Amino acid sequence: MQMASRVQTDEDAGERSKVWILDQKLDQPMEEEAKRLRNMYKEKKFSASMVLQLAFQSLGVVYGDLGTSPLYVFYNTFPSRIEDPEDVIGALSLIIYSLSLVPLLKYVFIVCRANDNGQGGTFALYSLLCRHANIKIIPNQDRTDEELTTYSRSVFPAEQSFAARTKRWLEGNAFKKNALLVLVLIGTCMVIGDGILTPAISVCIYRYFRRGGRDSWTSLGGIMLSITGTEALFADLSHFPVSSIQIAFTVIVFPCLLLAYSGQAAYLLKNPDNVGGAFYHSIPDSIYWPVFLVATAAAVVASQATISATFSLVKQALALGCFPRVKVVHTSKTFPNQIYIPDINWILMILCIAVTAGFRNQTQIGNASGTAVVIVMLVTTFLMTLIMILVWRCHWIIVLIFTGLSLVVECTYFSAVLLKVNQGGWVPLVIAAAFYIIMYVWHYGTVKRFETELHSKVSMAWILGLGPSLGLVRVPGIGLVYTELASGVPHIFSHFITNLPAIHSVVVFVCVKYLPVHKVPEEERFLVKRIGPKKFHMFRCVARYGYQDLHKKDHEFEKKLFDNLFLFARYESLMEGGSDSDLSGLVDEQTAQSGNTLENDNGNTVSSEDSIVPINSSSHASNTIRSYGQASSQIEIDELEFLNTCRDVGVVHILGNSVVKARRDSKFFKKIAIDYIYAFLRKICRENSAIFNVPQESLLNVGQILYV
């Protein structure tokens, strides 16, 4: 097989090097393999019986918060009594219209289809948009990231199309990108606020039942509570396929809600004085206590649904650099999306107790919950408008109809909650503001730190000028230098070698970065490249994760890192010294598997015309490669023995502890954000060593001050 080559400038080494490209004969099998892998990570196809089974199991999620709304909607809609029976019919009509337009039509049949490979919530929508437009604030993405099998996106629109014009407008300046991020953060903070208020409402329902009291409400604000749990339904989407949730809601939940509200309305028409606790009063005495127990259990499920949604959103925000580092516990080995965040759970508990104790009636808590719900719905509407334009490529008339209908309903409710801001509606605004400051300042500090490190990275000319010894004594062992830069040598490394007399024989720069995808396949996790000439023994390894991926324990991560490093050395030797037939045999052997992206000695990706050559890090792949490349076997063995010897001597994890400070000429608000808020958040959040599960006996911290 013939080989073709092209010349490309390497930004790190500043040298010209050849990039080996496989012949066009390999294009077809590679395309078929890529298609097979992408199909693996699309939504699974379930049988009809499995869909029905999952639909039944999803009732806890779908029926969570929405299902408990009949406990308090009529009670919160009217004053102490019903003056005119016609008001009951009007309220019932509004409830039916609201349930039909918002949860059923908008969310179950439209918004749920905009999931990011099964993941829901505002950050999932934002990740989907980031893959279709250049709006991600932290520029740590590489072209090879877009070739992941889970990095699915539509073909770029035509130059003059409505989608293309919208894309250019959105990418036009940093202000629009920041505005979109602010909108996403506001929506996320409001969902967190709802996660605090929903348990409080459940407690107040029980308290009201015990004391038989009554509170007064404005009717429209009370009716809006019939759709309180809609956003939690979308955020909890990851546990079940969309088809199951659609069946569960349309066949079971929606009819049951209509019956519950219609039954209460019929009861209130005959008993207008019993509007307080209408749900319990309307229950026949013979089944009262069983229904009471079921209603209590449903209230617990509703609270858990919103709390779980909060955990999911915080996990997504954490992965995308918008939340301080907190401990995430995966509670199930079978279902990786089931998580628990202890710190957030404690915060929710404390705030929930404070809200319940601080407000003496359910009215004010309901006002607060209504404010949070309607704001997050407005955020979802705006994000869905962009999804329909950039991702689905809908005609502008369809987009206009969806946006117009959504805004008519939601703005009507929003006008109602504005009147209640001083009657409890301020609570979610304060909670959201606190979380927003934390999230935005953390993201702002992370971006500034990344930009500073990016502009202060060490030039390869300086590294090459030091020679193979790097101007130091090269001691046996491997040093893993953790950095946020996916390219170039970080400034912390120059700080390290200018203050210490020795450096390890092998240096590997490790970058762990998160991408705007829900998951990165394990076989595509690592990118490996060499930095500088071979005799420098310097490598880079980029470990890529999605926002739903689980970061494995350190020994597993370290083992896979070295497996890919050794595989890279073998493959590189084969590319340099092996025959064309050897390479052909290697690729033919590997086309049935997908593997990690490997790059040659100057950082250039080894690829076919359209797709990356798959190299699997399994033992089978290693044995396959070992049987090829006889012409370069001695070089390969020498380097592999050297790498193995260094690993046996010991591995040291080198982490940079950068103290971030604002420059002296910075504005006042920037100094407050960086020097006080961001510094405080970094002090109380988890350390990098805990995130990477680095053993303390092999940890080396290197400190420096970064002025941003």
Q: How many residues does the chain have?
A: 708
Question: In terms of DSSP bridges, do strands 597-598 and 502-514 run parallel, antiparallel, or are they unpaired?
Answer: unpaired
E strands, 557-686, are 597-598, 651-661
Q: What is the pLDDT of residue 577?
A: 60
Q: Tell me how far apart the 2 most distant CA atoms of the chain are, in Å.
A: 95
Contact 266, 277 (CB under 8 A): no
Q: Whole-prediction pTM value?
A: 0.79
107/128 Cα distance (integer angstroms): 17
Q: What is the pLDDT of residue 356?
A: 83
Q: What angle do CA 459, 461, 467 make, to 5 degrees?
A: 120
Q: What is the pLDDT of residue 620?
A: 39
559's CB contacts (< 8 A; 6+ apart) are none
586/431 Cα distance (integer angstroms): 57
> Count of alpha carbons within 13 Å of 160, Cβ hemisphere only?
0
496's CB contacts (< 8 A; 6+ apart) are 481, 503, 654, 702
Strand partners, 703: 657
Given strand 699-707, what is the order of strands in its sheet? 597-598, 526-530, 538-545, 502-514, 473-482, 651-661, 699-707
Q: What is the pLDDT of residue 704?
A: 80
Within 326-395, residue ranges assigned H as helices are 342-358, 362-390
Q: What is the pLDDT of residue 40?
A: 46
> Count of alpha carbons within 13 Å of 473, Cβ hemisphere only?
5
Q: Which residues of the chain have pLDDT under 70?
A: 1-45, 61-64, 79-80, 137-141, 153-160, 202-222, 334-336, 360-361, 551-555, 576-637, 688-693
In the structure encoding, which two tokens stand for residue 336, read together?
């990786």
Contact 107, 252 (CB under 8 A): no
Contact 235, 120 (CB under 8 A): yes
173/422 Cα distance (integer angstroms): 37
Provide the CA 246 distance to its chain's centre, in angstroms.
23
The helix or strand, by DSSP H or E, that contains position 581, with its residue range, turns out to be helix 580-590
500/517 Cα distance (integer angstroms): 40
112/245 Cα distance (integer angstroms): 9
406/310 Cα distance (integer angstroms): 24
State the amino acid at position 386 in one-letter form.
Answer: L
In the structure encoding, which two tokens stand for residue 676, read together?
């006080």
Contact 571, 175 (CB under 8 A): no
State the amino acid at position 402 in one-letter form.
Answer: F
237/392 Cα distance (integer angstroms): 20
Q: What is the pLDDT of residue 67?
A: 77
Contact 504, 677 (CB under 8 A): no
Q: What is the pLDDT of residue 307?
A: 83
